[in-house]
Structure 1
Amino acid sequence: MTVDGMTITDEDCLAETLAFNAQFEATAARRPARDGKPDAATLATLRRHRLGGDTPPVTLPQGQDRVIAGGVKVRAFVPDRVDGVYLHLHGGGWAFGSAGGQDERLWRLAEHTRLAVLSVEYRLAPEHPFPAGPDDCEAAARWLVDHATAEFGTERLLIGGESAGAHLSVVTLLRLRDRHGITGAFGAAHLLYGPYDLSMTPSQRSFGSKRLLSNTDSLRGTYELFTPGMGAERRRDPEVSPLFADLVGLPPARIVVGTEDPLLDDSLFLAARWQAAGAPVQLGVVAGAMHGFTLFPLTITERELRREREFLSAA
């Protein structure tokens, strides 16, 4: 890999990533530990800041706030030339994050791929637990299927997101197929470090309390916010945990996860089942990367975002 004229080896990337993880843990250790689901004050702070950071998100004038599908809010980024539409579902444990939280990244994606990007402002838990968020994403996807040609001059649709947004992307594709008989409308899915088994895969259960962006305790807490009162068996319902769904008829996918992510198994297992169901899969396992690594200024972040743009451009 070449960055600013310098050759960066895989060993260099790994060393940088592990050093960043150690610094992140050291900083987190100076803050009070958060066990279980975040309280109202913590949620309010998380919702004010950009994902993974301690500062408000940057707002760009290229982002346009719209209301579609009878009331679903979206933030749209439309380049001068549009060759397709990417439905983006943001992360944040179904409880924070926003459609306006990643303007810089989404505008850059729109420019480089010539895709109109629509990021969905789906309703958040705990005020709006399951199935409110999935309902909003389903409505936005159906609206795109019906209106993309008139609105953007193209029928080429793609979908994806990070973390909870990756989960919602798969749930949305399954709902389109199972509730509306819609398959093939979305030509590809881009899924970054998603949780696909809310009853907890082995890597989720065994990760422990390591103070990275996500760990076993924080996952349990977000699952309780999103699906309050559900036991493990109920959370294995395919409508909640898409790892247990029939994946036949879903589009080609790119699935990415880091080796220091408690959701590692989720991506490994989903990729195997996706491929077994008959669709092509690109699986990217990033050495040393923690959950949410693409939110931070790392060499592997630039590499993975470039690969994301290449995948979506070619899909």
Structure 2
Amino acid sequence: MTQSDIVFNGGIFSPDRVPQSTSQINAWLFLQSLSAPEGQEWWDIGAEEFRRLQEAGKTAWPAPTYRAPNGSYIQIPSRESGREITCRVVPPPSSKPDGAFFKIHGGGHVLSHCDWRDELCEAIAEATNLTVVSPEYRLAPEHPFPCGVEDVFDVAEYLVDNSPAIYGGPLKFMGGESAGATLSMQTFLHLLDARPAFSIQGVSFVYGLYDWSLLPSCNNWSTPLVLKTETLKHYREAYLGNRPTEELRDPAISPIYHSVFRYPGSQIASLEDLKTEREKKRAELPPALFLCGTLDPILDDTVLMSFKWQVAGGDAVVKFVEGAPHGYQLFPRERYQPAVFGRKILLDWLKERL
């Protein structure tokens, strides 16, 4: 029997695998999207006003209600003289952390804040004994690309340089969800050049987008479960403006085109060079977790990016959550099974790599 070189559990995408409770809530979300009043999206009323309403609990997404009691805020210098970057810090229960986890929030580069995911940051800190640091990076459209990217780069460099002295050990992990996953990928690739001696124990990418020219699932997703193609294009315009396709594929914008992920032999003059490049890439890429729901328009990004990560020599665990749309980690875990499953996968993966 001829064996496939790619082993894939296609059954996980079967509708029969989706728990009934998940299907019921998805159906409610679908109807909520269809009945939402016109003119109430952030691009209709303005991002700043929408953020204010979101904070007050007056949008479809509930306002964040939990702040870690032992959480605090710090200021980290930016590359601009006189400007600092606020970060949320959530320490582990232990008084002696073993290092840092760099956690980057999502929100399409337009919404959310560094202290909106304290519950998850607290769970990560408890599971890893690491201090979780989350940056308040600048948001579009007021601060379009590359403002937010520069902020997360600055905080990451600071952690690489100072975490051992401040948090009892090195920067050991980084990761995020949605835009936070995209920024985590960009930050990791940046550190390869900015801090050549840098190494990390793992990176987690939860439903991230890695190609802003939009892969097929992103480009023709009409089911209004949290995110659809129209929504993605509004985020893209706010963050990147009206760039032509070729500019959107700049590796600085879309990390899937970074030279680290060129296929073997794509730009190699000799077989010896091919071997050298392969060994270098294998040493550079740490273990990675790619996690995505089966009803997420960014599904193709997870599949292709995780494949390219492995082709480049990195180890990757790729997991899909049955019936989960984009942003499922934001849903209340007491009512939504995908939020429970997704968090368990993430925390288990982190503990396995400590």
TM-score for the superposition, normalised by structure 1: 0.90
Measure, in 2, the Cα distance between the counterparts of 1:159 and 1:141.
Answer: 9
Q: How does 1:1-315 map to 2 (within 5 A)?
A: 13-33=18-38, 38-41=43-46, 43-46=48-51, 48-49=54-55, 53-70=61-78, 71-79=84-92, 80=94, 81-178=96-193, 180-182=194-196, 184-208=198-222, 210-247=223-260, 248=281, 249-296=284-331, 297=333, 298-315=336-353
Q: Is the 8 A contact 2:42 2:50 kept in 1?
A: no
More deviation, 68-77/39-48: 39-48
What stretches of structure 1 of length at least 5 have no aligned partner? 1-9
Q: Alpha-carbon deviations, 1:89-120, whole Å to 9, x = none?
A: 00000011110111122112212221110011
1:268 partner SS: helix
1:303 aligned partner, one-letter code: F
Counterpart residue type for residue 341 of structure 2: R
Cα distance change on mapping 1:52 and 1:201 into 2, 3 Å: farther
Can you list the C-alpha shifts for 1:190-222, whole angstroms capped at 9, x where unaligned?
1100111100000011212x2211100000000
Equivalent pairs counted in the alignment come to: 304
Deviations 1:132-167 (A, max 9, x none): 111011001100110011101102421000000000
Distance 1:36 1:276, change over 3 A: farther
Letter in 2 for 1:186: I
In the alignment, the residues of structure 2 paired with residue 97 and residue 125 of structure 1 have an alpha-carbon distance, to the nearest angstrom, of 11
Q: Which has the larger radius of gyration?
A: 2
How many angstroms apart in 2 are the aligned matches of 1:101 and 1:132?
Answer: 20
Unaligned runs of 5+ in 2: 1-14, 79-83, 261-280
Per mean C-alpha deviation after superposition, the further-off stretch among 80-89 and 256-265 is 80-89
- Alpha-carbon RMSD across the aligned residues, in angstroms, is 2.2
CA-CA distance at 1:19 after TM superposition: 1.8
- 2:319 counterpart SS class: strand
1:131 CA displacement: 0.3
Q: Is the 8 A contact 1:37 1:225 kept in 2?
A: no
Contact 2:47 2:141 in 1 (8 A): no
CA contact (8 A) 1:78 1:115 kept: yes
Partners of 2:110 and 2:42 in 1: CA distance: 10
